[in-house]
A and B are shown apart, each in its own frame.
Chain A
Amino acid sequence: MTVDTRTKPADSPVAEPAKKRFSLPGWFGPWEFALLGLVVIVMIAGAVTSPFFATGENFAITAAGAVGLSLMVVPMAWLMIAEEIDLSIASVFGMCGVIFGLSIENGMPLALAIILAVVVGAIAGLINGFLTVDVGLPSLVVTVGTLALFRGIAFILLESRSVSDLPLEFTQFAQGNIPGTLIPNGFIVFLVVAIVAGIVLARGSAGRKTYAVGSSVEVSRFSGIRVKRVKRGLFIFSGSVAGLAGVLYAGYVSSARANNGTGLELSVIAIVLIGGVSMYGGKGSFIGVMLALLLVTTLTSWMTLGYVPTNIQYTVIGLLMIGAVVLPALISKFKNAVLRRRG
């Protein structure tokens, strides 16, 4: 308490601006820069090694196939910035697809079936939110439980059957492109969700509160932010988007099955972590997460074209994720060591 060496730079206002010759903008820091570099490397490597990689068809197929995954990445980024997690997201995805299929099978109009599935997703999110926020359990534990619960409900409802008799106009939409282009319709849905969510996260008061809650629940509470309401809202957001994604996916594969999207939550979380969101909340940019999504999907596409076995693909993504988690920890250790030496 006598002397705090860290406080000194603040007391000499000249020190800081002097070294600011070149700096990246806040929303595009070194992490985003590195991810962009990796994306470029994968793109070039793919284009050089495979004649099929750098084609419009390949990108269209990759994008269409990844719509479900991509949509779920969006709310997961928000949740993890708020220092929460939703491991049940892919189970909600599966369950809502099943609800959608069964509603259609029982003669419900298409629009109503979609809305019902999304509402069920929102309720699933509400349950996660209630158990986490109001009962006060860690979301990691709660959503491990609901991961099994929601998947179980999907199997109880549909068993090992599948509903393939979906309305033609819907499957055509889910599988089709914007007329005259190679851009998949589902990708546009993702783009709309992602752009709105990205802008609000970076610039909106909801986004600011999410960062605040993830940085410090106490300070947020002391600042009059309704922490519980923010977190509950995020879980509901996560459930609804997972519901929508599940419906779109069922249309894309023309089949609602209880096991749709099994295990997808791990890829979603891996992408958010690779995107630079801290496990401890409060840190990370939406741009980074989007770049990580691009990196993982293009890398997967390249490996698939090169006949790399799925197991190896998993290993590569796993290594990337470990790297994304270990690297910041190492950097901060190194920084501290340097500071201490100067100490």
Chain B
Amino acid sequence: MTVIPGETPTIATQGELLVSVSGLVKRFGGVTAIKNGSIDLYRGEVHALLGENGAGKSTLVNILAGIVRPDAGTIIVGGEEVTIANPRQSRALGISVVHQHPVLFPDLTVAENIMFADAPPHNRAGLLSWKGVEANALRAMTRLNVHLDTSELVKNLSSAEQQLLEIIKALSDDTALLILDEPTAALSKREVKSLMEVIARLKSEGVAILFVGHRLDEVFALADRVTVSRDGTTIVTGPVADFTPESAVTYMVGRALDSVFPKVDVVPGAVHLEVKGLTREGSYENVHFSVRKGEILGLAGLVGAGRTEIARGIFGLDAIDGGEIIIGGTPVTIHSPADAMRHGVAYVPEDRTREGVILDQSIQFNLSLAVIDTLTRLGLISPTKDRGLSTSFIERLGIRTSGPAQDVSALSGGNQQKVVLAKWLSTDPDILILDDPTKGVDVGAKSEVYRIVSTMAQAGLTIVLISNELEELLAVSDRVITFYRGRQGAEFTERPFDAEKVLASMTREVSDVNAR
């Protein structure tokens, strides 16, 4: 374990030591989630905990939140060694957690959502006091200088506003440590600014903030100190100035980024997929792009920018209101996935477990689903062809399994994703649309997925890649187009791409004409 020297508190970390975790070990069955976890948190600092999926970040958070109990190690809070047996004890120690998955009620108002954080106020008749609810909400928001409309429904808030609301809900009067576990929304610079203001306010009150994640741009904008963990071990910790985005990634991954996402140079062929003026009201507008054979086109944008919707439109899942899809030089009409498949389009969907695989069916069942009619004779499936298809793909893509009869639910996320890829490669597509293909898989599997994608590009497939992981998108794509709220932004054609510029275009901080 290398610990970067220079633990001398910087301006921002002048506070006293609040929480000190060391020698932490946690096993789940035969799997070690944390081998040697340690972290020190000071009052009034923003501390970023970085790591890939599987690095043990969430387990550490869950230990501090009292959800999971460690097997070994010491936790010192305010100078005293403690055991955190349950979430109530964690709260009593002044630890507030904003969990990874949103816990807001979308159909209730801001005030009602804040109400559920504490005991709801009553009036003299023992009924809910709406005045009290309102007052509590205003008080909580004033503390952070946030001004949301208390009567607004949460589903109408922007993702950044929802994030602020989550923080307000999590905070109590005696919060000493606020943990933000992988805030899901990618934020524009303006939104980061309002989050920073809130965080600055909490810092000035002496609250320690632990920011868990892997989005580097946010980390470098917010953090005072950084701790990186990998494979359950704390690798390095130090002030943010000691890190660059590149060095942070190298620490997280254990090797340089370009070895994780190997980029194979392919000389692209003729244009194979082209969309002209593609429009779906309320989702995307006037989208133009073309992709060549052997080329990987990256679509960059924030969650909700319309990229998934464009993919769904091309694949025939949603109707398009206007524009043309041209495949191999001829305009085509696509009304259903079956139509799209006939034109050689394959779509690896965004939500693997809901749209990609049937979890409680076997690998064989899932793999042949898209091509089942080609495996039949007189309406009956040939068992040898059926099995042969899955055994060959298990080998080709290196799916780690006990065999084709194993249920997909028993596979790891990465191997499940390979099943989805195999299912689509079995259709022998010309065009492959990948929607966030590495969501929730560990770095090894990511690397494997992109190696397969590279092979496909070499084989002359036309590939459209959507990813919420900007670094990956930029590392793998030949060309990148940005989207913002359903509108097409800039196009970047020169590798290596300038991440700053792409991000700026994604969030419309530059040439911001249409943003409201």
- Which positions in A face B, CB cutoff 8 Å? 1-11, 13, 15-17, 26, 199-200, 203-206, 208-209, 211-212, 215-216, 218-226, 282-283, 342-343
B338 partner residues in chain A, CB cutoff 8 A? 224-226
Nearest CB on A from B348, distance (A) = 9
Query: Which of B337, B356, B401, B413 is in CB contact (< 8 Å) with A13?
Result: B401
How far apart are the CA atoms of A16 and B404 in the complex, in Å?
12
Interface contact A13-B402, CB-CB below 8 Å = yes
A1-B100, A7-B413, A219-B358 known; A224+B341 contact, CB < 8 A: yes
Give which listed residue, B370, B400, B401, B410, contacts A223 with CB less than 8 A: B370
Neighbour of A17 across the interface among B31, B317, B402, CB < 8 A: B402
CB distance from B38 to the nearest CB of A (A): 16
Contacts of A11 in B (CB 8 A): 400, 412
When C-beta atoms are compared, the residue in chain B nearest to A23 turns out to be: B405
Q: Are B58 and A224 in contact (CB under 8 A)?
A: no
Q: Is the CB of A8 within 8 A of B31?
A: yes
CA separation between A15 and B403, bound complex, in Å? Answer: 11
* 22 examples of A-B residue contacts, CB within 8 angstroms: A1-B53, A1-B440, A2-B56, A3-B54, A8-B31, A9-B402, A13-B400, A200-B380, A204-B379, A204-B381, A205-B372, A212-B365, A215-B358, A215-B361, A221-B317, A222-B349, A223-B370, A224-B338, A224-B340, A224-B341, A224-B370, A343-B28
Q: Which of A5, A206, A216, A220 has the most CB of B within 10 A?
A: A216
Report the separation of the CA atoms of residues A7 and B361 in the bound assembly, to the nearest whole angstrom. 16
- Chain B residues with CB under 8 A of A205: 372-373, 375-376, 379-381
From 397 to 425 in chain B, residues with beta carbon under 8 angstroms from any chain A beta carbon are 400-403, 405-406, 409-413, 415, 423
B381 and A2 within 8 A (CB): no
Q: Which residues of B contact A212 (CB under 8 A)?
A: 358, 361, 365, 369
Any A CB within 8 A of the CB of B42? no
Interface mask (B333-364 → A, CB under 8 Å = 1, otherwise 0) = 00011101100000101000011111011000
By a CB distance below 8 angstroms, the chain A residues around B28 are 3, 5, 343
**Interchain CB contact under 8 A, A4 and B381:** no
- Known A7-B413, A13-B400, A215-B360; judge A200-B379 contact (CB<8 A): yes
CA gap between A74 and B450 in the complex, in Å = 46
For the complex, what is the distance from the CA of A115 to the CA of B18, rounded to whole Å?
83
Whole-angstrom CA separation of A283 from B411 in the bound complex: 20
Which residues of the partner chain B approach A8 to less than 8 Å between Cβ atoms? 29-31, 412
B219 at the interface (CB under 8 A from A): no
Q: Does B177 reach chain A (CB closer than 8 Å)?
A: no
A219's partner among B369, B376, B412 (CB-CB below 8 A) is: B369
Instruction: Report how far A17 CA is from B406 CA in the complex, Å.
Output: 10
Main secondary structure, interface of A, reads helix
Contacts of B379 in A (CB 8 A): 200, 204-206
The answer to whether A222 touches B33, judged by C-beta atoms less than 8 angstroms apart, is no
Query: A2-B33, A10-B412 are contacts. A199–B59 as well, Cβ < 8 Å?
Result: no
* B100 near A219: Cβ-Cβ < 8 Å: no
Whether B355 and A222, one on each chain, are in contact in the complex, defined by CB atoms closer than 8 angstroms, is: yes
Distance, CA A13 to CA B406, complexed state (A): 11
Q: How far is the CB of A8 from chain B (nearest CB, A)?
A: 6
Let me know if B55 is at the binding interface, CB within 8 A.
Answer: yes
Apart from A7-B412, A203-B381, list 7 A-B contacts with CB within 8 A. A1-B58, A3-B59, A5-B29, A8-B31, A17-B403, A204-B379, A222-B355
Closest to B362 in A: A26
Are B29 and A219 in contact, with the CB atoms below 8 A?
Answer: no
Question: Which B residues between 31 and 71 are near A, CB-CB below 8 angstroms?
Answer: 31, 33, 53-59
Q: Which parts of B245-302 form the interface with A (CB within 8 Å)?
A: none
Which of B57, B336, B365 contacts A211, CB < 8 Å?
B365
Complex interface: chain B residues within 8 A of A206 (CB): 379
The CB with the most chain B CB atoms within 10 A, among A26, A212, A220, is that of: A212
> A7, A16, A222, A225: which contacts B403 (Cβ < 8 A)?
A16
Q: Which residues of A contact B401 (CB under 8 A)?
A: 10, 13
A residues within 8 A CB of B30? 8
Decide: A5 and B31 in contact? CB cutoff 8 A: yes
Complex contact B402–A204 (CB within 8 A):
no
Q: Give CA–CA (A320, B358) in the complex, Å.
A: 30
Q: For the complex of A and B, list the 8 residue pairs with the smallest distance between their C-beta atoms, beginning with the closest.
A: A16-B402, A7-B412, A3-B33, A2-B58, A223-B369, A224-B337, A215-B358, A223-B370
Query: Is B410 touching A221 in the complex (CB atoms < 8 A)?
Result: no
State the Cβ distance, B373 to closest chain A Cβ, in Å.
Answer: 5
| Chain B contacts for A5, CB-based, 8 A | 28-29, 31
In the complex, the answer to whether A208 meets B381 with C-beta atoms within 8 Å is: yes
Q: A272 to nearest B CB, angstroms?
A: 19
The answer for the CA separation of A218 and B375 in the assembled complex, in Å, is 22
Q: Which residue of the partner chain, among B54, B336, B360, contacts A2 with CB atoms under 8 Å?
A: B54
Indicate if the CB atoms of B402 and A208 lie closer than 8 Å: no
Contacting pair B55 A2 (CB below 8 A): yes
**A81, B445: Cα distance in complex, Å:** 34
CB pair A4–B380 under 8 Å, yes or no, is: no
Nearest chain A residue, comparing its CB with the CB of B412? A7
